[in-house]
Chain A
């Protein structure tokens, strides 16, 4: 009998399994369960993008692409970044097409971390940064963001977290799960702290196009002096509703790109070819589709924030992504208890804030990648639940 615990790497064994995975498996099998838990768009990939993928298959484009990705794809990304975010990267030397933004995060961490290097990770945040940091030998240094700051990372918080071992700052804004965004002035304050250091910024801007209000998303890489210390990550999943295509990219200064490309070529070879052909069309013709989907998300966002506040689940106004992060103080329950009871008594699945870091305690994440009718039904059940808690 093999004792696998002696065979599996200590690193893999040390990774915490997702604590509520089991909980959501239950939700998946529950009859008449309404989920507000999914973290991907409900829209289908716009037709002209799907069609481009199909056409590429019809024409037999089924080989690997170059490691860095199709030249046309990279040219398209360069053009898109300049057009939408005033970012200027050389498609030949400063860019790599990856298997979703997820691979890009992994590459960036593995390319720069030495054992013991610290990575500052503002929490609550997307769950991958800390485990991937550990796998790369680094030490995650969580910074608990505060609701009263709108879950933004402040310059003071950043300064306090920096030590001589700090190698990198992860900047995940617009933020999953809070919906917080950093506007230009917030970014400028952070940039000032980093200016005289060698600390790199890993900016994960996968939700950049889902920024609401009249002001557009600003990337920290576009601020003076920041490009040389920034690893910029974006992808197609959220903006174009292309999660299943697994397509993203990373842009950074040449020495960093060279290191990341080496890891990418040995581990992955290249991003899916079909997806790249679809991505070229997304970049070229997808601006209107982005606007349409963003408008729809924006209406749902306003609907949800208003309804939750009315029910006593107070939430600050999320300005990005497609999540709201309301406080559940009114229920008198902890995050996990709230979610479990809500699931079993009302068959509504939401994600406990603690899934995104300890500082998420007292909050839950509600996704609005659902129709208004679906949201409305779920909110009705949550309202009943709150009443039964005796606090609604």
Chain B
């Protein structure tokens, strides 16, 4: 079953019939499995990988490190859930190491993100400190190369 997930993770637009052939299943079995995954919350959705840098649209991404004070009984869950509710925030992750929560967020400008951090995140009671790192260039994301260096360099020695 994990094979279906792996195939979908690489390419969510493959027709059911192709996925079925690759996973040794019938298309009906694949459809049923995908339904099950969705119901169980294993499949969270389908999105498109867009390299916004190649469009006219201006987007700024930032990684934000947060140190927070965990709550008795709730640990980090409460503050993490609160932060996750902000629509500006793309990802919220509990981290090991030097800080507690790792955030990824997108905005229209550096300033917009800086203001969000200053006015919305920092004032939260449980947030002890923040560190904002702006993304300057994306080389690879979600397993996909975003640069042009990925071209096939194999010689045309077809034999």
Chain B associates with chain A: yes
On chain B, the residues within 8 Å of A28 by CB distance are 156
Tell whether B24 is near chain A: CB-to-CB under 8 Å. Answer: yes
A1-41 with Cβ < 8 A to chain B: 18, 20, 24-25, 27-28, 35, 37-40
A372-B14 contact given A39-B157, A351-B158, CB 8 Å threshold: yes
Tell whether A306 is near chain B: CB-to-CB under 8 Å. Answer: yes
Among listed B15-23, B84-92, B96-104, B114-122, interface-contacting one? B15-23
Tell whether B40 is near chain A: CB-to-CB under 8 Å. Answer: no
Q: Contact check, A355 vs B159: say whether CB atoms are below 8 A apart.
A: yes
Q: Contact check, B152 vs A37: say whether CB atoms are below 8 A apart.
A: no
Q: Contact check, B21 vs A307: say whether CB atoms are below 8 A apart.
A: yes
Q: Contact check, A39 vs B159: say whether CB atoms are below 8 A apart.
A: yes
On chain A, the residues within 8 Å of B22 by CB distance are 299-300, 302-303, 372
Q: Contact check, B158 vs A42: say whether CB atoms are below 8 A apart.
A: no
Tell whether A314 is near chain B: CB-to-CB under 8 Å. Answer: no
Q: Contact check, A372 vs B11: say whether CB atoms are below 8 A apart.
A: yes
Tell whether B7 is near chain A: CB-to-CB under 8 Å. Answer: yes
Tell whether A160 is near chain B: CB-to-CB under 8 Å. Answer: no
Nearest A residue to B20 by beta-carbon distance? A306
Chain B residues touching A, majority SS = loop
When A and B form their complex, what is the total count of cross-chain residue pairs whose Cβ atoms lie within 8 Å?
Answer: 60
Total A residues in contact with B, Cβ cutoff 8 Å: 30
Total B residues in contact with A, Cβ cutoff 8 Å: 17
Q: Contact check, B156 vs A373: say whether CB atoms are below 8 A apart.
A: no
On chain B, the residues within 8 Å of A372 by CB distance are 7, 10-11, 14, 22
Q: Contact check, A24 vs B21: say whether CB atoms are below 8 A apart.
A: no
Q: Contact check, A39 vs B158: say whether CB atoms are below 8 A apart.
A: yes
Q: Report B18 CB to chain A, min CB distance, Å.
A: 6
Tell whether A126 is near chain B: CB-to-CB under 8 Å. Answer: yes
Partner of B158, one of A24, A306, A307, A310: A24
* B1-33 interface bits toward A, Cβ cutoff 8 Å, 1 = contact, 0 = none: 001000100110010011001111000000000
Q: Contact check, A307 vs B18: say whether CB atoms are below 8 A apart.
A: yes
Q: How far is the CA of A147 from the CA of B124 in the complex (A)?
A: 72
Tell whether B54 is near chain A: CB-to-CB under 8 Å. Answer: no
Tell whether B74 is near chain A: CB-to-CB under 8 Å. Answer: no
Q: Contact check, A126 vs B154: say whether CB atoms are below 8 A apart.
A: no
Q: Contact check, B18 vs A35: say whether CB atoms are below 8 A apart.
A: no
Q: Contact check, A40 vs B154: say whether CB atoms are below 8 A apart.
A: yes
Q: Contact check, A127 vs B159: say whether CB atoms are below 8 A apart.
A: yes
On chain A, the residues within 8 Å of B21 by CB distance are 302-303, 305-307
Nearest A residue to B19 by beta-carbon distance? A303
Q: Report B68 CB to chain A, min CB distance, Å.
A: 37
Q: How far is the CA of A35 from the CA of B158 in the complex (A)?
A: 9
B70-128 with Cβ < 8 A to chain A: none
Tell whether A376 is near chain B: CB-to-CB under 8 Å. Answer: yes
Q: Contact check, A302 vs B24: say whether CB atoms are below 8 A apart.
A: yes
On chain B, the residues within 8 Å of A300 by CB distance are 22
Q: Report B1 CB to chain A, min CB distance, Å.
A: 14
Partner of B156, one of A27, A42, A310: A27
A38-B11 contact given A299-B22, A302-B21, A306-B21, CB 8 Å threshold: no
Q: Report A32 CB to chain B, min CB distance, Å.
A: 12
A38-B18 contact given A355-B159, A372-B11, A373-B11, CB 8 Å threshold: no
On chain B, the residues within 8 Å of A35 by CB distance are 152, 156, 158
Q: How far is the CA of A39 from the CA of B156 in the complex (A)?
A: 9
A216-272 with Cβ < 8 A to chain B: none
Nearest A residue to B3 by beta-carbon distance? A299
Most buried by A among B7, B17, B159: B159
A306-B152 contact given A38-B158, A39-B158, A40-B157, CB 8 Å threshold: no
Q: Report B90 CB to chain A, min CB distance, Å.
A: 25
Partner of A37, one of B10, B14, B23, B158: B158
Partner of A42, one of B11, B23, B152, B159: B152
Given A38-B158, A302-B24, A373-B11, 6 more contacts at CB 8 Å? A20-B158, A35-B152, A39-B159, A40-B157, A303-B18, A307-B21
Ordered by A's residue number, 15 sampled pairs between the chains whose C-beta atoms are within 8 Å are A27-B156, A28-B156, A35-B152, A35-B158, A37-B156, A38-B156, A39-B157, A39-B158, A40-B154, A42-B152, A127-B159, A176-B159, A299-B22, A299-B23, A372-B10
Listed in ascending order, the chain A residues whose CB lies under 8 Å from chain B are 18, 20, 24-25, 27-28, 35, 37-40, 42, 126-128, 176, 299-300, 302-303, 305-307, 310, 349, 351, 355, 372-373, 376
Listed in ascending order, the chain B residues whose CB lies under 8 Å from chain A are 3, 7, 10-11, 14, 17-18, 21-24, 152, 154, 156-159
A-B CB proximity, top 7 nearest: A306-B21, A37-B158, A299-B22, A28-B156, A302-B21, A303-B22, A24-B156
